[in-house]
Amino acid sequence: MPRTRHLTLATLLLTMTRAADSQQPPRPTTLAHRSTVYAPHGMIATSQPLATAAGLAVLARGGNAVDAAVTAAAVLNVVEPQMTGIGGDMFAMVWSAKDRRLYGLNGSGRAGSLMTRDALLAKGHATMPQESVEDVTVPGALSGWDALLRRFGTVTLAQALAPAIGYAEGGFPVTPIITAEWGAEVAKLRKDEGARASYLVEGSRAPRPGEWFRNPDLARTLRLIAEQGIGELYGGELGRRIAERVRALGGYLTVDDFKSHRPEWVEPIAVTFRGYRVWELPPNSQGVAALEMLKILEPFDLKGLGHNSAAYLHLLIETKKLAYADIARYTGDPAAMSVPTGSLLTDAYAASRRALIDPARAADRPAPGKPLTASETIYLTVADSSGNIVSFINSLYDAFGSGVVVPGTGFALQDRGAGFTLEPGLPNTVAPGKRPFHTIIPAFVTRPDGAGGDAPWLSFGVMGGSMQPQGHVQLLLNLIVFGMDLQDAIDAPRFRHLEGRRVALEAPITDAVRSALAALGHEVTSEAAVAFGGAQAILRLPRGYAGGSDPRKDGMAAGY
């Protein structure tokens, strides 16, 4: 279908939607609002105030953005334990002011050497198990923290871990949203001896809002790492204990899997959108989905459609379906991919996918295209006075990951292996030593510096599994197309496409828009149990920084 017809039908739909809007009382138009934070020297935004404060203190005493990022990430291991920790994986992008370029780090771990498709099938699994010890892969986060500090930091790992050790040992009051998420996992935590001891008050319940919580086992683990180095986990006694416990419970890790783990420096990938260069990390992450969505959306008059109108949301939802069909088929561990990532981001491929969008009807499950060959989480971002900026994400996959805590260690092991598929012959088919498909994606945006190079403009992320690429695109369009203030762009109501024709919309999106989407064939589901992500962002100003933090989380942005 020609693009002009797309736009004509979409404009007609927009007119009908606006007419319907005038006949119904609107829902609230915004979420609870915060002001954008402005600061002259440095900025940090995280999902928990104590982590923000710890990172800000590092900046204020002369540390750089990487120092502050690792410090904050370690604190989040303690104060937001359902989302993150050294039992999980991480990815990061670092803008080096000295080098005037962007670096990427893949700190994800691999499947254990005993994790085979045959082994899983022999246990009766038709699909990958969920939230199970069988999903535990090598945790890569700690190696990533160490790699960042060694290459760009000015403090030692021991110094970066110190505030986290203090909170784990001395305790802290738990914040309300974290308490609610913690409480939802009590049944899961009760199933595991180590999880009960580490994370349940009196072995039976989650902490209440404002209740003091300590994790002395985690304090001892972090102190051991501070004294002995990351080798304690990657081949040392700590790694041996974890491997043996995982094997005893039916998992697939060995000590040698820990010994052979290495983080990897990678080249970020990018597309140009409305004069900006949007950067993501390459597979095994899903960042390519956000870039493909932007390529498909580039020619449309998005502003003319109207922010969060039915026509606008329909277009974004259909675009998301196409991009996700492609990543499900073509992405995974790069070593197993036969289709180069760049082939999904060409103008010709984007045009072929764009042509499949029907402006008058929701698609069910689009098939992947035919390119030419040649997801739980914390996100934080930090910028320092020298112009260094870090976009950083760390995750356990599900809340408290697998739900397995090796007794005495104080941290949960991720279940990232659930990201594999048992379907044979795909880049993401489970296999020993393979990196699973990852939902966690840090993002970065640059723009021309006037001298033939790039200048940093925005560091951001949106936590939340498959919400992340669609959240990235919505946030970027709010800023670039609609010209919103940074915090307004974060606060604006979001959609989350789930599967098939099912989509959830945040409460402020009007009933008229919901009805119009339903008329197009979308199944608008209840938003009550749906998470719409949690964003953090830092915007580079001509002088200083602007920062924003999502009201959907307990976090905050702060600067100096």
Which residues participate in catalysis according to the annotation? 377
> Which residue stretches of 233-309 are H helix?
237-248, 255-259, 287-297, 302-305
d(CA 258, CA 337): 24
Contacts of residue 243, Cβ cutoff 8 Å, sequence gap at least 6: 253, 254, 255, 257, 258
Task: Spell out the residues 6+ positions from residue 111 whose beta carbon is closer than 8 angstroms to its own.
Answer: 137, 138, 252, 417, 420, 430, 431, 432, 433, 434, 435, 436
CA 3, distance to chain mean position in Å, is 32
CB atoms within 10 A of CB 344: 24
Q: Which of 29, 58, 123 is nearest to 560 (CA)?
A: 58
309's CB contacts (< 8 A; 6+ apart) are 14, 17, 18, 513
Cα 323 to Cα 77: distance, rounded to the nearest angstrom: 32
Which position has the token pair 């803008």? 95
Contact 116, 101 (CB under 8 A): no
CA-to-CA distance for 534 and 48, rounded, in angstroms? 11
Q: Find the angle CA(471)-CA(476)-CA(480) to the nearest 5 degrees.
A: 160
User: The tokens of 299 are what?
Assistant: 């020619």
Q: Provide the 8-state DSSP code for 509.
A: S
Q: What is the 3-state secondary structure (H, E, C) of 125-169?
A: CCCCCCCCHHHCCCCCHHHHHHHHHHHHCCCCHHHHHHHHHHHHH
Give the side-chain half-sphere CA count within 13 A for 481. Answer: 21
Which of the 8 DSSP states describes residue 34? Answer: -
d(CA 121, CA 182): 32
Q: Is the CB of residue 273 less than 8 Å from the CB of residue 480?
A: yes
Distances, alpha carbon 512 to alpha carbons 20, 24, 412, 423, in Å: 6, 7, 44, 41
Distance CA 247, CA 119 (A): 13
